[in-house]
Structure 1
Amino acid sequence: MEWAEISIAASAEETDVIAEIFHEVGASGVVIEDPALVQSYLEEGLYDYSAVASEAEADRVTIKAYLPADEDLDGRLRDFGTRVETMAKRIGSSERHPISCQTVRDEDWEDNWKAYFHTEKVGALIVIQPAWETYEASPDDIVVRLDPGSAFGTGTHPTTAMCIRAMEELVRGGMRVFDVGTGSGVLAIAAAKLGAGEVLAMDCERRAARIAARNASWNGVDGIVRTGVSDLLAAFDGKADLICANLVADLVIRLFEALDAHLAPGGALLASGIIDTRVADVTKAAEARGFLIDRIIEEAGWAAMVIRRTGEVEGGA
């Protein structure tokens, strides 16, 4: 299958909104290339210098997404361009937003990921191991073997790594966990390996749900992790003790509309994918629905937030 790789340059402040626009026009995943983040990974030895093709402008972020190269592509591109122009006018931006498009094959896409994705211990316990690499685990390691394919979600990006570190503290034996927008299934698998008794992992893209199911099977947790297709929480049944949502700020805000129906008493929402300039927006939306921020974790310009009902915040009334 062929895909269209759509790429746009923007300021860091516009990143979250553009990522949401990509989702709205049907992108199955979004890649954010932040030069500051890439440089920090290079310095830490997490990326190979040879794998970085070129240096981007230091103050510009490149946002990429992938759309099927089919008969609907032209219409989706026009819709995307119109929405970006509307966004720029709304926020008073005078920045230019050049958009490029190129066709890639599935195998090219996945090989490109492999150049950047290496085994990494992202928490105190969880190690993310690409399926094509070997790794000798220590006795305390909890290893998640992963092939994200076209679903994204390697577990090593700060938005996902922050979730995993928080989950190491939040997941308790036997608890029920929802993973909203599961992607490759990395958070769902980590939850299962940390002791969750049942994990429901869904994505708006059927292809991502299939990849998450495959990764769950590879990790031997397919008896715990159940996958499916859902627009946010729409198809989730019942309530969970922990809801994980590594999305973007606007999608996290939408979750609050259905959170009462799906969050068990004493439970928590672990939300990530939030650019630091949008933390205040998420906080405001949470408080308007009767939720409070228990904890904020920040890394490389991104934030993850642990959110609970008013009166259920740890240390609260």
Structure 2
Amino acid sequence: MIPVKWSEITIHTTNEAIEPISNILHEAGASGVVIEDPRDLIKERDTFYGEIYELNPDDYPEEGVYVKAYLPVNSFLGETVEEIKQAVNNLLLYNIDLGTNKITLSEVHEEEWATAWKKYYKPVKISEKVTIIPTWEEYKPVSSDEIIIELDPGMAFGTGTHPTTVLSIQALERFVSEGDRILDVGSGSGVLSIASVLLGADQVKAFDLDDIAVKSTVINAKLNHVESKIESRQNNLLDNVNEQADLIVSNILAEIIVRFIDEAYACLKPGGTFITSGIIQAKKQEVREELEKNGFEILEVNQMEDWISFIAKKPEAEQVF
């Protein structure tokens, strides 16, 4: 059998652009994404409650980050790379800083890729209760109330250890109550939906415009034995959603969050909580103003590295705008 050849595409960009570029690569058919951020080399590990990676400094850029993905070498490769370049450049329309924005290609064999990329992913405790582990790692809980989430990072959307995800899960841990009904807007891998159920939610509806994300949420929900409580479907934000939820969580770009804050207010029960993450410093004030304009009371503003998360509340007494 002739080994399959893969092309490693490397995009030298910024931390801000990691998630949208990762989504572009997955939509282009990438088999796995690896993030090489030099800040991981000097990061204080207690920020994430434990070790994440086994790191080699030679793999990292001096500034910015490398986002690497793997595409099969076939007759469509050139066209696929051009589509990726165009989609990445289009992020400038959303005022996303692309930094160096240099794209390079190199060839790797399937057997090398199949094992090499796994070295980046280890079990990581990201909050007081929640630990995320890749499916192939053996892990023994260190306490009786520890919540374990299994993910396969090769499917899509990373390992759940990005600061925006960590901020979201830390907020969920504090605000999810037993029996809650939750909406996860822009569900990605489904990690926030899974965490919500394991923290006590009775039902989660997970929405994502990307069909890959919808499938990934379904797969990961089954992996964690919570599929009966998570409904994953393709949907544009909260369009045509007529739910009354106890909590809404959304970990996506600030430019997208501000588009549906009014719908989020309408879909929350009085006293409900809205957790938003994925917000860069430059967009912090814009999101705050939009939340307050639509009637939300801001309970907390949290930060990890360059990322911001808001925890907002719909007042107990309905307000008219």
TM tier relative to shorter chain: 0.7 to 0.9
Contact 2:55 2:120 in 1 (8 A): no
TM-score, length basis structure 1: 0.78
Matched, 1:295 2:297: no
Aligned counterpart for 2:291 among listed residues 286, 292, 312:
286
Greater CA drift, 264-273 or 286-295: 286-295
Contact 1:122 1:128 in 2 (8 A): yes
Post-superposition offset of 1:258 = 2.3
Partner of 2:190: 185
Greater CA drift, 123-132 or 35-44: 35-44
Greater CA drift, 154-163 or 282-291: 282-291
Letter in 2 for 1:156: T
Greater CA drift, 164-173 or 144-153: 144-153
Amino-acid identity (%):
34
Aligned residues: 304
Partner of 1:47: 53
Q: Identify if the C-alpha distance between structure 1 residues 7 and 277 changes in structure 2 by more than 3 Å, giving closer, same or farther.
A: farther
1:37-116 matched pairs, under 5 angstroms: 37-40=40-43, 45-50=51-56, 53-58=58-63, 60-63=64-67, 73=80, 76-77=83-84, 79-80=86-87, 82-83=89-90, 96-101=100-105, 111=115, 113-116=117-120
Post-superposition offset of 1:233 = 2.1
Partner of 2:259: 254
Partner of 1:123: 127
Deviations 1:223-280 (A, max 9, x none): 1111111222236441321111111221222222422332222112211122233212
Matched, 1:206 2:211: yes
Post-superposition offset of 1:143 = 1.2
TM-score, length basis structure 2: 0.77
Aligned counterpart for 1:242 among listed residues 225, 247, 250:
247
Alpha-carbon distance in 1 for matches of 2:172, 2:295: 23
Partner of 1:145: 150
Contact 2:22 2:157 in 1 (8 A): no
Matched, 1:306 2:311: yes
Match of 1:210, SS?
helix
Matched, 1:164 2:169: yes
Match of 1:254, SS?
coil
Deviations 1:25-78 (A, max 9, x none): 98479876432244316796432134x5523123x2445678998586366346
Post-superposition offset of 1:186 = 1.1
Match of 2:226, SS?
coil
Segments of 5+ residues of structure 1 without an aligned counterpart are none
Match of 2:228, SS?
coil
Greater CA drift, 148-157 or 107-116: 107-116
Q: CA RMSD in A?
A: 3.7
Match of 1:155, SS?
coil
Greater CA drift, 98-107 or 34-43: 98-107
Contact 1:297 1:304 in 2 (8 A): yes
Contact 2:300 2:310 in 1 (8 A): yes
Match of 2:43, SS?
helix
Post-superposition offset of 1:306 = 0.8
Alpha-carbon distance in 1 for matches of 2:60, 2:88: 25
Post-superposition offset of 1:113 = 4.9
Match of 1:164, SS?
helix
